[in-house]
Amino acid sequence: MNAVCRRVLALGLASVFSGGAAAVQLAYEPTALDWTSGEVGRIGAETLQQTVAHAARHDRLGCVQHCDRLQRIFDRLVVEARQQTRRAALLPWSLTVLHQDDSGAFALPDGQVVVSETLIDDRGLSDEALAFVLAHEMAHSLLEHERQLLTAGRLLLPRLVERSVPDMYVEFEFNFGLLKTLEPVLHQGEYEADELGLLLAALAGYAPARQLEFMQNEVAEDDGRRPLAATHPAATQRLLRLQERLPLAWRLYEAARRDTAGRRP
């Protein structure tokens, strides 16, 4: 059982499902991490600037086909994300959309999410599957996975040498042994983002079973080949874990629907 599921159980399932969906907090705030959120966030801001500049130069910045539904889904997810932790409530959540670009989707430490319309078109994503993709990326920001990874990497290097955040990214790029050793940390981060993403999107009103369409397609397209240092677990394992969380996701989804119905005039 990972930290997200433990968080739900610690709150008490009875209080979660009797008190309305708005009261549900699923995320944890990690402690004892190196560097500050600001130090890590600055690198993310630079990454976003470079991504936007590159897309603009090639006329790939901005949405063309899916603008309204992307914004609608993202706005609903942000409402739930802001309730998760004190830090999440203050993050400058934003969505940057690219078109005719193969960058897929990723999130930066400060809550800025980037998604390509090519991913939506190539995968034929429904609203529910798209909500899962966006919520998965937002979960990385919520749980400070980047900062956790940097801290874990630093613990594996000589402690007498001072290292900045940019230094650590150089290590990740050129130190294959370090990256290979960090595989379990990377995989755990993906499992946590999958689970929290599924539950967040359920709270936002997106049916859990249809959310899994994205991972089901990933399994169908998986050719079994793995890189020497795999940053993501096998799609089959990710889908199995998500399926185990479906009962909880359905209860959150139904609680959210009841809460919404109760607030209607």
Residue ranges covered by each domain of the chain:
3-258
pLDDT at 128 over 60: yes
Q: How confident is the model at residue 3 (pLDDT cuts 50, 70, 90)?
A: low
Q: How confident is the model at residue 21 (pLDDT cuts 50, 70, 90)?
A: very low
Q: How confident is the model at residue 125 (pLDDT cuts 50, 70, 90)?
A: very high
What mean pLDDT, rounded, does the chain reach?
Answer: 90
pLDDT at 159 over 90: no
**What is the 3 state secondary structure string of the chain?**
CCHHHHHHHHHCHHHHHHCCHHHCCCCCCCCCCCCCHHHHHHHHHHHHHHHHHHHHHCCCECCCCCHHHHHHHHHHHHHHHCCCCHHHHHCCCEEEEECCCCCCEEECCCCEEEEEHHHHHHHCCCHHHHHHHHHHHHHHHHCCHHHHHHHHHHHCCCCCCCCCHHHHHHHHHHCHHHHHHCHHHHHHHHHHHHHHHHHHHHHCCCCHHHHCHHHHHHHHHCCCCCCCCCCCCCHHHHHHHHHHCHHHHHHHHHHHHHHHHHHCC
pTM over 0.85: yes
* Average of per-residue pLDDT across 16-37: 74
Q: How confident is the model at residue 8 (pLDDT cuts 50, 70, 90)?
A: low
